[in-house]
A = this chain, B = another copy of it.
């Protein structure tokens, strides 16, 4: 049932119950352990890491009355971001990105958020720590966040994801600039493959943000009962952020497209340089070789041959011709190494 790479050994289920007065956190060791649990507070946030154990999903699905399609979508972690409205809950799929500093590449996980009247469920394959800041805000002593409904919590989670997009954007931008330097100084075909790889990563990021932008636009405009008018103002705000990320991402993509031109121009420049070196060499040696050939002819009557200085005069003419031609090239700026 679980479609996608398995990245976590054992599911980890955390329940955070909260209301204006306080927070209760519970880490369930097993499904059985959770059965005896009684609700402590008005609002709750259930977070699940690890999706490959189908019994967990089935149990949660049963308790929160999740539609079979929603359960299927949560388990299939290759979903495109989307938002589906059901009678009792709003189902939102988004993607959470990480940057692997070693391979200098983006990795991403699906984040499923189910927002009900008094609960939020979140599902991820891998524990990324992306939501730790939100947990901190819930735990904070005078946490204004606890006073808000679960819709504000859902907003805070989405906001966290969008903030990460800005970080990813910066990483891509840095990589693009490094590639530009390399394209100008050391063009080679491997670089082209690298440019295409980064282009592809920018595209993957774009594909995660683009539908989310549409989702946020819709959610922030229409009152569907799950988000209050006040929270919708905040959704509007992260909608603006997604528009901003997308625009900046276009800049990065433009830069990467320009890189190809720079690379090709760099390669063709190198060809010019090489042909130029060949031309210069030919130019410097050909006249000298001809002169040597001339004085190597076997005519009985030839000037200079008997002259004791003849040999040196001939060498001088060779050197002179080369010097004249080198000077001509010098004036045309051809002797620069570039």
Contact = CB atoms under 8 A, between A and B. Distances in A.
Interface in A255-273: 255, 258, 260-272
Copies in the complex: 5
A302 B299 CA distance: 10
A142 interface: no
A54 B265 CA distance: 49
7 interchain residue pairs of minimum CB distance:
A292-B293, A295-B297, A285-B286, A299-B311, A296-B296, A278-B279, A301-B308
Nearest to A264: B265
Contacts of A279: 274-275, 277-278, 281
A254 interface: yes
Interface of A: 67, 69, 72-73, 78-80, 82, 84, 180, 184, 188-189, 192-193, 196, 199-200, 203, 207, 233-234, 236-237, 240, 243-244, 247, 251, 254-255, 258, 260-272, 274-279, 281-283, 285-290, 292-311, 314-315, 318
A240 B79 contact: yes
A299 B314 contact: yes
B304 A299 contact: yes
A311 B266 CA distance: 45
Contacts of A268: 264, 267-268, 271
Contacts of A236: 84
A130 B103 CA distance: 41
Contact of A310 (B301, B306, B310): B301
A196 B177 CA distance: 12
Q: Which of A82, A260, A290, A308 has the most chain B CB within a 10 Å cutoff?
A: A290
A327 B270 CA distance: 19
A316 B243 CA distance: 71
Contact of A192 (B261, B282, B295): B261
